[in-house]
Amino acid sequence: MNTNRPWMNNKRDRNMRGGFRGGRGGPRGWSGNQRGFKSSWGSFDGPSTGNKFQNNYAPNKGQWKKRDTPGKRLSEEDIGVTEYVSKHEGFNGIIKSRYSDFQVSEINEQGEIAKLTCLKPPPAPEEEAVSEDEDLLLSKYNLEILPMETWDKINTLAVSKDPEPDCVEIDMEGVTKEQRTKIHDAVKKAFGDSIVGSTVNIEDKKLMRFQKFKKGVRIDNRVKWTWPAEYVHFIVHKENCDTMDAAMRIAERIGVHVKPSMLGYAGTKDRRAKTSQWFSARRLDPRRFVAATRYLKDIHIGNFTFKNTNLKLGMLQGNRFRIALRNVTASDEVVNTACKDLQEHGFINYYGLQRFGTRVDIPTYNIGLKMLQGNFKDAIELILDSREGPLAGALAAYRAGGAAAAARGLPRRASGPEARVLRALSAAPNDVHGALAQLPRNTRLLYLHSYQSLLWNRAVSERLRRHGLAPAVGDLVPLANIDKEDEFEDEDSDAEENEADGKSDKQQANNSPNDIKTEKQSIKKERTSSQSDQSSVKDKEKDKKNSSKDEEKPKVPVKVLTQEDVDSGKYTMADVVMPLPGYSVDYPPNMLDYYEQLLSDAGLTLDMKHKIKSYRLCGAYRRVVVRPRDVSWRAVRYSDPFADLIASDLDELNNKTIDAIRDDGKYRALLLNMTLPASCYATMALRELLKVDTSSDNQASQNNYHKSRKSSTTEENEGEEKKKKEADSPEKAKGADSAEKTKEADSAEKERANGSEKVKVEHDSEVKLEIEAESGEKRKMLSESEQTEDVKRQKVDK
């Protein structure tokens, strides 16, 4: 019997669950022992199931284990979010009771709102038929570069039956890349795949080499791009998944040569929501996207266009929000007052809880602080301790047996950043900074910026406590536009890496056989070093590039308000900015002491200049108060707590109507629409509106309102009916009470009779009966005397 995998004990289950006979696949967490299966022993979480993910099955219990989840989560007070702009009365309303209650549409730099209206790919451009005259012109054009004798040599090479024919080499000195491309295209058009062209360097001389196709020579399979522009742009409508996850799944389905980094986007959108945003990709056929995502239920793609620019982070104006707040219990007057205050006065532009992770014991800003303090060992321990899944036990193994022991316990296929950190530490235990450098630069920046955001939140709250909600002497006002300023400059986009990768792929495609052989030998040598070393080099080059950019970044000019400026009434709180600490910002004189105290308590300085350039922060300015644009709202009623209240882009495309909104509904909801600039948190606007803590724990605690109301309503109805009956007929009520008492007495008498009957039967010497209360079945059992006779008989037989 298989005790570790109880579902395999039954023969039928073994056949049906991906076990010995290769069935349809077992439960999640079990891969079966199909061909090519390799188990991964020695993981942190107990005996391996052979799955590359966490062993999530509890042996001998026949049930799945729940993943360890943090108990207490971060609250707004933990991240410095304490103040409000308006003094209106708050009210109850549940945020994201359903993920369909939060819908986001991206607004691009041209002010266009992303809306999915078409799922079909654009018609493919018709390939232009090349006439004989055009062929002659093309040949004539190439005759200016390649003499006729060269064309004759290539033709002779193409028709040759020699198993080892010579190659044709042409000196490319002084020939531009565009001209070389035209020569390649002309040769390929004339001879197809029978002739393979490549550009090679021999003794510092660039040559174009043409060979007859044979096994081992790489064919140039590049297809001519005939679409209107270099980049295809399209809208991705996703439901209940984040942007990076959507990019990964789209890339996986398109093909093995497409990576998530090849997809560009302007910003990341909420996971628990329905969102529409633009993506871009370089030279990928739109039809491939449509075919790849056809069967995805939560991701839909459409509205294809073509542009000559790629999307990068920050290339957007803002986002349009459509939000449903459920179980609103306040009066219309209270709700309307609150919405008008939000529209007119705005909200404090705090960084929301999404910025800081969820665990109160290991928030992301603590990891960022350790990095800024240069305490890389503690930073690594915090990163490992915050992991779940296959790496959940990494920290314990790391502390008990060191990095080498922790690395040995990693699942074989674990290739994430944390796994790379552990493997780097096992190779060089004392190089903690080098190990931390194995994390992608964007991940390291996330930790650093989280700490910056915490400081900004706390500084803004203190500023409002000191000086109130009006501009004060010593405040800062920007003299240049900061709305387009990328607060957290991440000038390296994944799409740029994709272009670099694409160029290297093209160079490899043009290598000669000798070069390929040399390349294979070098690859064989390089395999002795880990892949993480290669990524580390790439990240170090990226860090060097970005550090130089940061040093050259000029300061944004700001004005320090004087008493005269304040008295003029020219400025409002929507004009005031506060700095995120860094070396390229000025600090407001009226808050300089607070910034100094915050940073000195952490062992840091105002300029945030780290001895390692990649950890230096230049800082930025952020508006203290933001007023949402295009605000509208309406109250509705509904009865079904699980029905959608807002039609998504996909719903409108499929002509699906929202039937849940009814005038006679049991519950009230507020439908709120607004537009916010980029990098603003809608949850902070809702906090200002509702005057409640927007943490997920607080919101989840209110999400069973329909159950509590149902039970309370039932009790109330029963009590009212009873009172009504008593009031209508007191005599009947008394008679009913006496009848009920009589019924209870009769049932008690029956129970006593049954008990005496059972005692009597148990003492019967011939037959013992057992009366079972639940089933009422009676079974005959051997009497004690018969059992004794059987025992004696067995002894005699022996």
For helices 376-385 and 394-408, give the axis angle rounded to 10 degrees: 100
For helices 441-467 and 364-372, give the axis angle rounded to 10 degrees: 100
From 558, 549, 546, 551, select the one nearest 621 (Cα to Cα). Answer: 558
Instruction: Please give the Cα distance from 344 to 40 (Å, whole number).
Output: 59
Instruction: Please give the Cα distance from 226 to 239 (Å, whole number).
Output: 33
Q: Read off the DSSP letter of residue 639.
A: S
**785 backbone dihedrals φ, ψ, rounded to 5°:** -65, -40
Say whether 201 sits in a helix, a strand or coil.
strand
Instruction: Please give the Cα distance from 498 to 260 (Å, whole number).
Output: 9
| Contact criterion met (CB below 8 Å) for 438 and 403 | no
| Contact criterion met (CB below 8 Å) for 683 and 628 | no
Q: Read off the DSSP letter of residue 79.
A: G
Burial 721-744 (b: 16+ CB within 10 A, else e): eeeeeeeeeeeeeeeeeeeeeeee
Report which secondary-structure segment, H or E, holds 20.
Answer: none
Radius of gyration of the chain (CA): 36
Which DSSP string corresponds to 500-553? HHHHHHHHHHT--HHHHHHHHHHHHHHTTS-HHHHHHHHHHHHHHHHHHHHHHP
**Distance, CA of 606 to chain centre:** 33
Q: How far is CA 4 from CA 24, 40, 67, in A?
A: 20, 15, 19
DSSP H helices, 160-242, are 177-191
Tokens of residue 233, six digits: 């742009």
Report which secondary-structure segment, H or E, holds 402.
Answer: helix 394-408
| Contact criterion met (CB below 8 Å) for 277 and 313 | no
Q: Kindly list the catalytic residues.
A: 270
For helices 148-159 and 177-191, give the axis angle rounded to 10 degrees: 40
Which residue bears the tokens 């062992």?
603
Type of residue at 791:
V
| Contact criterion met (CB below 8 Å) for 323 and 103 | yes
Instruction: Please give the Cα distance from 12 to 9 (Å, whole number).
Output: 9
Burial degree of 320 (CB within 10 A; 0-12, 13-18, 19+): buried
Q: How many CB atoms lie within 10 A of CB 207?
A: 18
Instruction: Please give the Cα distance from 180 to 387 (Å, whole number).
Output: 51
Which residue bears the tokens 């004990």?
9
Tokens of residue 679, six digits: 């990098």
**Distance, CA of 482 to chain centre:** 28
Instruction: Please give the Cα distance from 329 to 323 (Å, whole number).
Output: 17
Q: How many CB atoms lie within 10 A of CB 540?
A: 14
